[in-house]
């Protein structure tokens, strides 16, 4: 982590603490309630200090700044445990924040707190990782979950010549988005005849913590020395696993695919540790959440299927089945295109 990065993380953490304490926190602080012309929105990510989350929140902050009268804030835990977000939601409810945008660590653990916020008049948007449907008005999803599962299985299959043992290194055991993608991976591995010689031997969890993910990757290869490939559908997990592989005897022998940030993965693509991985632009999720919040507060949408709203540079977005807005398709990154991306 660079010194610049440390300063950025420290600033974000400080902003969260100050917002909870009811103090001004940066250039776009949270306030109690919204004004007649604007509204307040607080993002509650799965955890702070996560590079992927920082990109998402950056998109939300930029969108809030582009609109008039939006009070933007970020609060959240430093660890991605199931109930760690509850106290933050309760504080936001007391502050009468107009919109709570949350990436849930557990689909049900936060529901009671969110329903209390709704009863107090708050609009609830989920992004990145959903809650149970009855706890929110709208879910901003990166992509169609099935597409994520299929592209990751395709990438690892191609790199191991459609044969051998593979494992999945995910985030937390209760993360809604990761679990949905993993279910589609398992279904594709089981049903697609092209993958008949591929054997999924383990699904393990690094809890979206860099050190834990590094150690879990190390343990995987110790337990399964003949492993041919690892799928890590988490930016923290894939970066930590790439770092381990790059300095081990497994470099170039074990395929690593998953969801990563181009800026974090560039060195591993260029040194041959990783051939290809995938992701979407996380900033678009934050952007979509802010514009959806504006439409919900204004009453121009309720979050029902068929609703549409304008989302700045993203154009007009439409609410689909299960009150879900899909932001965009995944992109595959490799040595040929990774320098075209900067996030």
Q: Contact 249/271 with Cβ under 8 angstroms?
A: no
Cα gap 210→151, rounded to integer Å = 24
For the chain, counts of helices (H) and of strands (E): 10, 14
Cα gap 133→308, rounded to integer Å = 19
- Residue 6: what pLDDT? 34
Whole-number average pLDDT of the chain: 89
267: CB partners within 8 A, 6+ apart = none
Q: Could you identify the residue written with the tokens 């591995």?
A: 189
Q: Contact 169/210 with Cβ under 8 angstroms?
A: no
Containing 334, the helix (H) or strand (E) segment is strand 331-334
Q: Contact 92/164 with Cβ under 8 angstroms?
A: no
Q: Contact 310/316 with Cβ under 8 angstroms?
A: yes
Q: Contact 135/171 with Cβ under 8 angstroms?
A: no
Half-sphere exposure of 36 (CA within 13 A, CB side): 0
Q: Contact 234/277 with Cβ under 8 angstroms?
A: no
Mapping DSSP to helix (H, G, I), strand (E, B) and coil, where does residue 153 land? helix
pLDDT tens digits, residue range 132-188?
Answer: 999 999 999 988 889 999 999 999 999 999 999 999 999 989 888 899 999 999 999
Residue 31 has pLDDT above 70, yes or no: no
Region of poorest pLDDT, from 25-29, 222-226, 232-236, 267-271: 25-29
Mapping DSSP to helix (H, G, I), strand (E, B) and coil, where does residue 246 land? helix
Residue 11 has pLDDT above 70, yes or no: no
Q: Could you identify the residue written with the tokens 């509204």?
A: 39
**pLDDT interval class at 23 (50, 70, 90):** very low
Q: Is 334 or 84 the better-scoring residue by pLDDT?
A: 334
Cα gap 334→89, rounded to integer Å = 39
Beta strands in 84-133 (DSSP E): 99-102, 123-127
Residue 210 has pLDDT above 80, yes or no: yes
First to last CA, the chain: 15
pLDDT tens digits, residue range 46-78?
Answer: 989 888 899 999 999 999 999 989 999 999 999
- Residue 37: what pLDDT? 63
Q: Contact 129/176 with Cβ under 8 angstroms?
A: yes
| 274: its two tokens | 């990783």
pLDDT tens digits, residue range 152-164?
Answer: 999 999 999 999 9
**pLDDT interval class at 342 (50, 70, 90):** confident
Residue 55 C-alpha from the chain's centroid? 10
The per-residue b/e assignment along 214-230, b for 16 or more CB within 10 angstroms, e otherwise, is bebbbebbeebeebbbb
> By C-alpha distance, which of 74, 37, 92, 134 is closest to 289?
74
Cα gap 69→39, rounded to integer Å = 7
Residue 14 has pLDDT above 80, yes or no: no
Q: Is 331 or 34 the better-scoring residue by pLDDT?
A: 331
| 258: its two tokens | 């998953």
Region of poorest pLDDT, from 167-181, 199-213, 222-236: 167-181
Containing 82, the helix (H) or strand (E) segment is none
Residue 305 C-alpha from the chain's centroid? 23
């Amino acid at each position: 982590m660079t010194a610049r990065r440390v300063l950025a993380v420290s600033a974000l953490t400080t902003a969260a603490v100050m917002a909870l304490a009811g103090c001004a926190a940066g250039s776009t602080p949270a306030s109690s309630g919204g004004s007649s012309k604007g509204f307040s929105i607080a993002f509650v990510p799965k955890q702070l200090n996560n590079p992927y989350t920082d990109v998402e929140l950056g998109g939300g902050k930029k969108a809030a700044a582009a609109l008039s009268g939006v009070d933007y804030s970020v609060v959240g835990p430093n660890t991605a445990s199931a109930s760690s977000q509850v106290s933050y939601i309760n504080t936001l409810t007391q502050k009468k924040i107009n919109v709570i945008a949350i990436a849930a660590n557990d689909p049900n653990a936060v529901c009671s707190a969110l329903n209390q916020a709704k009863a107090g008049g708050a609009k609830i948007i989920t992004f990145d990782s959903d809650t149970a449907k009855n706890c929110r008005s709208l879910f901003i999803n990166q992509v169609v979950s099935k597409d994520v599962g299929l592209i990751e299985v395709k990438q690892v299959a191609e790199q191991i010549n459609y044969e051998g043992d593979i494992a999945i290194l995910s985030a937390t055991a209760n993360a809604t988005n990761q679990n949905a993608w993993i279910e589609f991976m398992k279904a594709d591995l089981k049903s697609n005849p092209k993958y008949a010689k591929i054997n999924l031997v383990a699904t393990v969890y690094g809890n979206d913590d860099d050190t834990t993910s590094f150690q879990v990757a190390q343990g995987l290869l110790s337990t399964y020395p003949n492993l041919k490939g690892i799928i890590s559908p988490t930016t923290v997990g894939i970066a930590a696993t790439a770092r381990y592989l790059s300095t081990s005897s497994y470099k170039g022998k074990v395929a690593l695919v998953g969801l990563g940030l181009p800026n974090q993965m560039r060195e591993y693509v260029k040194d041959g540790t990783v051939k290809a991985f995938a992701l979407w632009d996380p900033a678009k999720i934050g952007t979509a959440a802010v514009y959806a919040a504006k439409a919900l507060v204004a009453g121009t949408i309720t979050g029902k299927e068929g609703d549409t709203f304008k989302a700045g540079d993203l154009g007009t977005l439409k609410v689909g089945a299960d009150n879900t807005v899909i932001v965009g398709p995944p992109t595959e990154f490799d040595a040929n295109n990774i320098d075209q991306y900067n996030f």
